Amino acid sequence: MLRELDPPECTKSKGLPKSTSIAESHSFADADRLAYALTVPEPDPIHPIANWRACRSSEQLQRTFSDPDYDDSDWTPIAVPSHWQLNPEFADFDGTLLYRADLTVPTLQPGQRRWLRFNGLCYEGDVFLDGAYVGQTEGYFTHHRFEITDLVATAGTYVLAVEVAAPATGEHDTKRDLTGWFTDGPGLPDDWNPAGIWQDVSLVDTGPVAIRHFRALCTEADAAHAVVHLRAVLLASRPAEVDLTTSVAGVEQTTQHKVAAGENRVEWQITIDDPDLWWPTGRGDQPLFDLDVTARINNEITDRKHRRIGFRSASMRDFIFRVNNQRTYLRGINIAPLQLDMATMTVAELHAEAKAIRDTGFNAVRVRGHVTRREFIDACDELGLLVWQDLPLVGSYVRSVTKTVEQHAREMVDLLSHHPSIMVWGGHTRPHTSEPRSTSAPDLRQQQIPSWNRTVLDRAIRRVFTAHDSSRPIVANSDVAPHVPQLSGSDVGLYFGWFDGEAADIAEYAATLPRMVRFVSDMGTQALPENLTIDLDDALDVRGAEADALRAVVPPTTHPDAGSWTAAMRGYQADVLKTTIESLRVLKYQPNGGFFAGTWKSAGPGLTRSLVDHDGAERPALDTARRALRPVLPVLYPATSTLPARTTALLSLHICNDLLDDLDVEVRATVTDQRGTAVRRWAGHVAGDDVEFIDDMAIRGGRIGAEMQVELEVVDTETGMLLSSNTYLFTAS
């Protein structure tokens, strides 16, 4: 509780004082410490696949291209991994592309088995080896593994042929491919298709029992113990007795299993006493441990798996999240595809993006509507960034996709469940429609009618996630308003200050419909990059661009040129973001559990809601976010940029403290209006991880067009250090 120290003092002033720059810094973690969490392949790929070449498909070629004797000397060399549209020969191509490559292998030892592994192919593939059909793939992020023991058992050079089909994504209610933002993300060129073999292809050898599917997840964690649950599908070429040895964090145990020829599902768990818990940034350290599972027959290794894991618990109630049973307010940002060429982003580049997000002050990311490179999630583990991981489902889909969606959900759990940073499994974004949003808040009436996507498909998604990982919160669909019969709803995007109304209207909306601000998963306005490298009309026509809304809030007719208009929209984006973030922070836990503030980075040079341009240039909104996310922040609520002329308005002063520690502070407010400058001071105690109401402040609007200013400062009374400051400018209207 803070009390005012002395009454206001007023001195005459002819105008606003010159602004002063106050240097402030805060590190949520050791900013320079970054140990890469590299996943060790299991077992090591040992056979090179080289000399990839490609050709556009035709009916005749589809019949003959897999023949090892086919003459492909005139085909185009192509890199693997890559997206084929980045090859000049296929820059404008949608459809089916044929690939061929050479692989040279030694002779298999008796009892060994050989496997072909695809780590990412967009979107469907048919695989042939020396003319023999191997199998089919579907899903751009799922891993596919085929046994080819009988085809390449002897030493030699073989021809691998792959038919990759990736037609342009269907529109509206005709969508079948589960690619989400990976193909339709904001800022992507309208003709962009990330098709191709975009992650590694390798051959690996195992013994007679191979681990086909593998899952490791921490189901329980507290100061006393942690439990890791493991599941494996063992593919055996013959009946055998298999020893599975699991080691993690200094604990090792071996379990015995009798397996039959074919597929065998086994589950087991390992308990770690007195574990070092993994914490989000700002809440503690992020210890990670090697988890190794080795399968042996008669003490000979037949296969193995390796993961990096952390021990923590995760829960959610009414969108209030808890990590290790400690309330955690999510200050997050949405992640779209980080660049067009996701295939060739280096591990260092992916880690640099995650580190920049953490250093801005965010403690969470939402991998929105797609699955990104796993190395990015590795970085989130290292840095303590919580992750809301979505399935690649955006808009409405045809009814035939249910089985594919269920399979993708299981695959995503297998692929990512060991990551302690993953806090939430997200399902389906905007299931009720594929039409773009055109209102600040979801239309409550539109969503009352049941739909197959929301009512049937999304329930199937929840069932799959619950069955395969009950240790994490599940949000089956997003941007769904409360609807009959349960009136529950989900997280929503709120775009006050963009489609209609003012950014400050979010305060009244929250007071009227508090359920609608429990978690705000998108916000803000769009803007163009500072360095526009394409035609203006093209930049306003990228995927997800809302050019009509932009012209309404920042009319181009009021600016002399495109440069001035671009600067104005970028400034407006920053102002709206400041108002929205600060408003939600005042509502922390009552009822707001957190937010995702627009998107982090544009994949292309167009109109987007991102804070960083495609070329890495920071928008003004990024600096605004950095200031609005400071752990200790004084805020006036409701936020507004205008005051009624010649009328006194009351604004509430709050201190938002996201630190765990209680603070003893002095708060200073310097108010400058037409009456002069008045200074008010309060001192007292601010609880950790809380929002403290200080006082109501009366600010009088002057004549129409007059400007007023309030400058707030928070000082640690023990050290005298300035913890934070905030400035508000008002115009009388």
Q: What tens digit of pLDDT does each residue of 553-600 get? A: 999 999 999 999 999 999 999 999 999 999 999 999 999 999 999 999
pLDDT at 486: 67
Q: How far is CA 377 from the centre of its chain?
A: 9
Secondary structure in 3-state letters for 355-403 = HHHHHHCCCEEEECCCCCCHHHHHHHHHHCCEEEEEEEEECCECHHHHH
pLDDT at 45: 56
Any idea which of 2-16, 395-409, 470-484, 520-534 has the lowest mean pLDDT?
A: 2-16
Secondary structure in 3-state letters for 73-114 = CCCEECCCCCCHHHCHHHCCCCEEEEEEEEEEECCCCCCCEE
What φ, ψ does residue 332 adopt, rounded to 5°? -125, 175
Q: Residue 421: helix, strand or coil by DSSP?
A: coil
In this model, does residue 5 exceed pLDDT 80? no
> Where on the phi/psi map is residue 99: left (φ > 0), alpha (ψ -120 to 50), or beta?
beta
How many CB atoms within 10 Å of residue 708?
Answer: 21
Q: How far is CA 353 from the centre of its chain?
A: 12
pLDDT digits (tens, 9 = 90+) for 138-153: 999 999 999 999 999 8
In this model, does residue 26 exceed pLDDT 50? no
Average the pLDDT over 694-718 and give the result. Answer: 91
Selected residue with higher pLDDT from 701 and 197: 197
Place 345 in a pLDDT band, splitting at 50, 70 and 90.
very high
pLDDT at 652: 94
How many CB atoms within 10 Å of residue 683?
Answer: 15
In this model, does residue 169 exceed pLDDT 70? no
- Provide the mean pLDDT of the chain: 91
- Determine whether 245 is exposed, middle or buried from the number of CB atoms within 10 Å of its CB (0-12, 13-18, 19+): middle
Give the CB-side neighbour count of residue 176, counting CA atoms within 13 A: 7
In this model, does residue 233 exceed pLDDT 50? yes
- 216 CB contacts (<8 Å, ≥6 apart)? 228, 229, 230, 291, 293, 305, 307, 309, 417, 418
- 36 CB contacts (<8 Å, ≥6 apart)? 347, 351, 378, 379, 382
pLDDT at 443: 81
The pair of structure tokens assigned to 596 is 């995702």
Q: Please state whether the peptide bond connecting residue 637 to the residue before it is cis, i.e. omega within 30 degrees of 0.
A: no
In this model, does residue 163 exceed pLDDT 70? yes
Q: Residue 263: helix, strand or coil by DSSP?
A: strand
In whole angstroms, what is the distance from residue 246 CA to residue 503 CA? 53
pLDDT digits (tens, 9 = 90+) for 673-685: 877 899 999 999 9
Cα 729 to Cα 9, 43, 668: the distances in Å are 20, 61, 16
Give the CB-side neighbour count of residue 315, counting CA atoms within 13 A: 10
- Closest by Cα among 586, 591, 587, 597 to 331: 597
Evaluate whether 31 touches 359 at the Cβ level (below 8 Å).
Answer: yes
Give the percent of the chain with pLDDT over 70.
Answer: 93
Q: Residue 488: helix, strand or coil by DSSP?
A: coil
In this model, does residue 123 exceed pLDDT 90? yes
User: Which amino acid is located at 36 in the chain?
Assistant: Y
Place 434 in a pLDDT band, splitting at 50, 70 and 90.
confident
The pTM of the full predicted model, rounded to 2 decimals, is: 0.92
In whole angstroms, what is the distance from residue 430 CA to residue 501 CA? 22
Selected residue with higher pLDDT from 732 and 407: 407
User: Which amino acid is located at 269 in the chain?
Assistant: Q
The pair of structure tokens assigned to 384 is 């303590």
Q: Are strands 95-105 and 49-56 parallel, antiparallel or unpaired?
A: antiparallel
The pair of structure tokens assigned to 363 is 């403690």
Sheet of 663-673, strand order: 2-11, 676-686, 663-673, 707-716, 722-732, 642-643
First-to-last C-alpha distance (Å) of the chain = 35
Any idea which of 88-102, 103-117, 160-174, 547-561 has the lowest mean pLDDT?
A: 160-174
- 288 CB contacts (<8 Å, ≥6 apart)? 37, 278, 308, 309, 310, 381, 382, 420
In whole angstroms, what is the distance from residue 385 CA to residue 423 CA? 10
What φ, ψ does residue 14 adopt, rounded to 5°? -80, -10
Evaluate whether 492 touches 483 at the Cβ level (below 8 Å).
Answer: no
pLDDT at 170: 54
DSSP state, 453? I
The pair of structure tokens assigned to 35 is 């140990």
In this model, does residue 710 exceed pLDDT 70? yes
- Closest by Cα among 180, 122, 120 to 369: 180
Q: Which residue has tokens 């109501």? A: 696
How many CB atoms within 10 Å of residue 126?
Answer: 18
Evaluate whether 385 touches 281 at the Cβ level (below 8 Å).
Answer: yes
Evaluate whether 419 touches 381 at the Cβ level (below 8 Å).
Answer: yes
Any idea which of 242-251, 284-293, 637-646, 659-668 has the lowest mean pLDDT?
A: 637-646
* Number of H-type helices and E-type strands within the chain: 12, 37
Burial code (b: 16+ CB inside 10 Å, e: under 16) for 104-123 equals ebeebeeeebbbbebbbbbb
DSSP state, 212? E
How many CB atoms within 10 Å of residue 677?
Answer: 18
Any idea which of 23-37, 81-95, 475-489 has the lowest mean pLDDT?
A: 23-37
In this model, does residue 12 exceed pLDDT 50? no
Evaluate whether 178 touches 141 at the Cβ level (below 8 Å).
Answer: no
User: Which amino acid is located at 686 in the chain?
Assistant: V
Place 216 in a pLDDT band, splitting at 50, 70 and 90.
very high
pLDDT at 75: 98
- Closest by Cα among 28, 32, 27, 71 to 53: 71
Average the pLDDT over 280-292 and give the result. Answer: 97
In whole angstroms, what is the distance from residue 289 CA to residue 37 CA? 10
Please give the domain boundaries of the chain with CATH numbers for all domains. Answer: 2-26+635-732 (2.60.40.10), 49-205 (2.60.120.260), 209-309 (2.60.40.10), 329-629 (3.20.20.80)
pLDDT at 11: 41
In this model, does residue 383 exceed pLDDT 50? yes
pLDDT at 645: 86
In this model, does residue 208 exceed pLDDT 60? yes
Average the pLDDT over 499-525 and give the result. Answer: 94
Selected residue with higher pLDDT from 595 and 500: 595
Q: Pseudo-torsion of CA 658, 383, 271, 423, nearest 10°?
A: 60
In this model, does residue 305 exceed pLDDT 90? yes
Q: Residue 172: helix, strand or coil by DSSP?
A: helix
pLDDT at 448: 73
pLDDT at 38: 27
Average the pLDDT over 612-623 and give the result. Answer: 96
Rounded to 10°, the helix 562-586/620-628 angle is 10
Cα-Cα-Cα-Cα dihedral sign, residues 367, 373, 378, 380: negative
